[in-house]
Structure 1
Amino acid sequence: MVYDAFVLLSFGGPEKPDDVMPFLRNVVRGRGVPDERLAEVREHYMHFGGVSPINQQCRDLLAAVDTEFAAHGIGLPTYWGNRNWHPMLADIVARMRDDGVEHALGFATSAYGGYSSCRQYWEDIAAARKHVGPKAPVISKLRQFHDHPGFVEPHAEAVRAALATLDPARRGTTRIVFTAHSVPIGMARNAGPTGGRYTAQLEETARLVHERAAGDLGYDLVWQSRSGPPQVPWLEPDVNDHLAALAEKGITDVVVSPIGFVSDHLEVIWDLDNEAKDTASRLGLGYARAATPGVHPKFVSMVRELVEERLHDHRHTTLGTLPTWDVCPANCCPPAKRPGAVQ
């Protein structure tokens, strides 16, 4: 297969206060969520001046990838398109068509399987190509990378760095808490051919990071950023509830590591650097939040290695045992059935 471009696929985020509500409406389009509910989330963004850091993080990552490609003789032009805010993927696909691109490799800023974290990007690509119409370039999404050394090792380094900020005299009562975005249980345990992949991959990543960072300490995988109507069950426990349970058991210090994420975007800094940190303070827990990979050199090299897997038919580089695919099985990771309009 001949590939002639690279495109970074991401979620997108507002870059000024006037962007926030239109962005949030894009996120929940088709779900019947009223503006009154979105206004609550808007306040999280306004706490940071109406700006999400994710777009700048994507710019930084793309610049680092450009440098990495040049250093290794990969001559692919690079592009960046989002799901929910500018630059929108459909606009970028049109630009790629105008530039003569025919078949690009797409890297999504999500390491895991699942509907929102993987399949929805395939749907984004299909919708963007349909919008552009004839001669829209084909985009082949690169595989999931939950157990690639370039993802696992930066997380492990970050956990070790966070541990170093806590009182070593209390190491015996310190615990590692890994977090990821909660999803509806029906979505996490769907009956498709890859049902349960999201939670299984996260459990494997947690184990791999723990082994490399703090194998003598206990650890847990918990969830954050729950949304949606309260009658719909989501993955639990929530990180704040879990911190309270740990305090009751005599834990004195925690390192919270957001292994579900590749960068410190708004959900990380709001849910963990504000809400969870405040919860820990109220409980009297020592608290340290581990960083995400961002533009860590190993993570940037991983992006290049994933591209080389496709360009040169290299074997997959993995640390775990779960299977990975260049093309996901048919009908994988269907979305959960949505309830009626949220009131």
Structure 2
Amino acid sequence: MSGSAGEAPLGLLVMAYGTPQTLDEVEPYYTHIRHGRPPTPELLQELVERYRAIGGRSPLHEITEEQARKLAARLSERLGRPVQPFVGYLHIAPFIAEAVDRLVAAGVERAVGLVMAPQYSAASVALYLNDAREALARYQQAPAVTYIDHFHDHPGFVACLARRVRDTLEQVPADIRPRVEVIFTAHSIPQHVIDRGDPYDRHVRETAERVARAAGLDRWHVAYQSAGRTSDVWIGPDVGDVIRELAGRGAAGVVVCPAGFVADHLEVLYDIDIECKQIADELGIYLARTPSLNAADDFIDVLADVVMDRLGETRHEAAAGGGAPAGEGEPGR
């Protein structure tokens, strides 16, 4: 696909979970997650306190906007045509439908829709796609949109995570490094979704297996985190339980790689950096986390590769090189 700067821009619809920008926005945000049911005062206060613990807000919006800008620029360079980014969120403004409205108003004739989640699930990624398709359906002459609903096994994505795992392990004190094990985590989802044949757990495990192989790991595990506060059974094992089990078996520490996330947000900055660290400290073992992908150049190259693949312009530049080392869900996702 080639073109000139004079043609209509390619639209880049980047979709992410969203996060409140202020503590006052936590209640409407949480209510939206709960499908219009306000949280109890206790649940609301707990979530507010989690945001306070990471400085009062999550950086997810700024990171997502930077990811979109950098990806659009990278794609424009490769395609030789303008690429215009539009960012929309699932649970807070600007919502996905608002981003679609801006995309249509800009005169875009063709677009790519990218959900910022590596592994597909009907309980997560499908919700973003449904919102985008419903918004587009309101227009008689909607642009053609090509959607990307997973990239969990893309060689460049695997290489990005493997680099960060290796770099983090190299920073572990040498005397305990042989007894440090790696835990790959992703957001938990309700078990009944998996029981209906959803590929999410398989995608997560495929990511972990490929990254472990690329990083040369002998000891690694898959765990889930941040299960919602509902009556449903959520998939496990829980990362806290895995940390306790490994400590009981003699591990000197763990490196946590949040392979289901692509940016710093509450579930990384609180659930891993604070909650998991507290568990490790209580057990007297070491804990480190791999750096989030955020808007690092090597990850932007991966996303550009993924988009080029879907557009029929396959050039895997990210998987081939080293790249510089450098993932928002909330409770109830």
Which range moved further: 9-18 or 73-82? 73-82
Q: How far apart are 1:97 and its partner, in Å?
A: 1.7
* Cα pair 2:9 2:82 within 8 Å, conserved: no
- Describe the superposition over 1:175-233 as per-residue Cα deviations: whole angstroms up to 9, x where unpaired: 1111110111111231xxxx241111111111111112242x3111011001132x421
Q: 2:317 & 2:206 partners in 1: Cα distance?
A: 15
Answer yes or no: is 1:55 the counterpart of 2:61: yes
- Mapped partners of 2:313, 2:72: distance in 1: 21
- Equivalent residues of 2:30, 2:39 under 8 A apart: no
Read off the aligned partner of 1:21 and give its amino acid letter. Answer: E
Q: 1:50 to 1:25 in 2, by over 3 A?
A: farther
Indicate yes or no: 2:242 matched with 1:208: no
Judge conservation of contact 1:102–1:135 (CA < 8 Å) in 2. Answer: no
* Aligned-partner residue type, residue 181 of structure 1: H
- Contact kept, 8 Å, 1:9 with 1:106, in 2: the verdict is yes
Distance (whole Å) between structure 2 residues aligned to residue 122 and residue 88 of structure 1: 12
Shift of 1:71: 2.6
| 1:245 paired residue number | 245
> Contact 2:188–2:227 at 8 Å: present in 1 too?
yes
- Residue 292 of structure 2 is aligned to residue 288 of structure 1: no
Q: Distance in 1 between matches of 2:124 and 2:42?
A: 26
C-alpha separation in 2, matches of 1:318 and 1:56: 23
Q: Does the 8 Å CA contact 2:227/2:234 hold for their aligned counterparts?
A: yes
1:99 aligns with 2:101: no
Q: Which residue identity lines up with residue 206 of structure 2 in the other structure?
A: E
Asked whether the equivalents of residues 176 and 219 of structure 1 are also in contact (C-alpha less than 8 Å), the reply is yes
Counterpart position of 1:45: 51
Q: How does 1:1-343 map to 2 (within 5 A)?
A: 4-30=10-36, 33-72=39-78, 73-130=80-137, 132-190=138-196, 195-215=197-217, 217-229=218-230, 231-312=231-312, 314=314
Q: 1:196 to 1:70 in 2, by over 3 A?
A: closer
Letter of the 1:245 counterpart: E
Letter aligned with residue 6 of structure 1: L
The CA distance in 2 between the partners of 1:101 and 1:12, in whole Å, is 24
How far 1:133 moved relative to its partner? 4.2
CA contact (8 A) 2:11 2:85 kept: yes
Deviation sequence 1:283-324 (CA, Å, 0-9, x none): 0111111112212222211221222223336499999xxxxx
Query: Could you tell me the TM-score, scaled by structure 2's length?
Result: 0.86
Report the alpha carbon displacement of residue 95 of structure 1 after superposing the two structures with TM. Answer: 1.5
Q: Secondary structure at the match of 1:50?
A: coil
Distance across 1 between alignment mates of 2:295 and 2:177: 30
Contact 1:16 1:49 (C-alpha < 8 Å) held by counterparts: no
5+ unaligned residues in a row in structure 1: which ranges? 320-341
| Structure-1-length-normalised TM-score | 0.84
SS of the residue corresponding to residue 106 of structure 1 reads: strand
> Aligned-pair RMSD on alpha carbons?
2.5
Stretch moving more, 292-301 or 235-244: 292-301
| Residue 133 to residue 50, structure 1, CA distance change in 2 (3 Å) | farther
Between the aligned partners of 2:318 and 2:126, the Cα distance in structure 1 is 21
Identity %: 31
